[in-house]
Amino acid sequence: MQTTEFFNTQLKANSLLLALFLWATAPALSAQTTVVPNPGQDQPQPAQQAPQQPQVQSPATVPGDSPQAGTASATPWLEKLGRAVSELEYSGLVTFEHAGMLETLRVVHAVRDGQQVERVRYLSGDPRELVSHGVTRACEGAAGPFNRAALLSAAGQERLQQAYQFILRGEERIADRPTVVIEARPRDRHRLGMLVNLDRETGLPLRSMLIGPQGKVLERYQFVELDLAPVKDSDLQPQSGSARRIDNSTPCIAAQTRWRMGWLPNGYRPVAVQTLTDGDMLVFSDGLSVFTVFVQRLGPELNFQGKAIRGATVAYMDQVEADGINYTVTVVGEIPDSTAQLLARAVTTTGG
């Protein structure tokens, strides 16, 4: 089955999943996505290897008053980061690199009545625009790539330290500004690593890279131009009638579900539950990494197992039976594909 046929079929069966997965990755889907449909088998077949990505290099330590790589504590910088993303207003141009694509975006971020408001507009590829309002602490795990680095300070240092080792990696210059480089190194094989560059003056994340198990850069966003001037209300208004709006001010866990995870990597906890028309959606986070589990009742003709990989995002599909009924389980997240497979097979009901 061809890539486009697989996704077209799944779009009918799992429209919410594909809407979420394809919204940020729609351009060049068939050329860039690795898909392994494998109906009727227990084990997925090996995916076609994507082109080799550059290996991440450790930034050199700058002498003088810069932090010494690996020796000083990263905690003060993470605290500064937390204040920056919740209090600062800014705008700028950002490059977003994933799955062999390089896109350019304009980001406008402001604080209104104590809540964050952000407008993101893609300047390359298909016209896309996103306007989000509010941040609920329990829901921060569902943030997009521009807020991902902010998750470093969202769940509390103690819990994050159990899942990641934070290492100062010296300094680099990003968007004509000096930055401090912090590595979030996973303590197990069930999550990805991160390198984040924090603006030395403000603590704002100016670059973020998701790193795979072999040190491969899977996804990168980076400011190329930054303006810290106060944001006008008019700059927060969508520029297109098709802009997508997200309200993050409502509680995350708002529904009950019969489904539970028989296994979770250490440090992950549920942060959202939502009822769908044909099933449930569960979101889990360790404070930095996020994945979503969709459990949906589908027709017998839609019998798929396999995975799709795009940059740092993987979607793995499997099945589970409950009370004589087959359900499709889809795990989507910025996690290793082996972890997504284990999670999909760990879904069970509250009754066992």
pLDDT one-digit tens code per residue, 197-229:
999 999 999 999 999 988 889 999 999 999 999
Do 314 and 334 belong together in one domain? Answer: yes
> 223 and 83 share a domain?
yes
Can you state the percent helix, strand and coil of the chain, rounding each to 5?
A: 20, 40, 40
Measured from the Cβ of residue 213, the count of other Cβ atoms closer than 10 Å reads 13
Residue 20 sits in the same domain as residue 79? no
Q: How far is CA 41 from CA 10, 44, 197, 347, in A?
A: 18, 7, 43, 18
pLDDT tens by residue, 100-132: 889 999 999 999 988 889 999 999 988 899 998
31 domain residue, yes or no: yes
Q: What is the pTM of this model?
A: 0.75
Query: Are 177 and 159 contained in the same domain?
Result: yes
Number of domains in the chain: 2
Confidence of residue 325 (pLDDT cuts 50, 70, 90): confident
The boundaries of the domain holding residue 315 are 3-50+250-349
Same domain assignment for residues 269 and 179 = no
Are 227 and 275 in the same domain? no
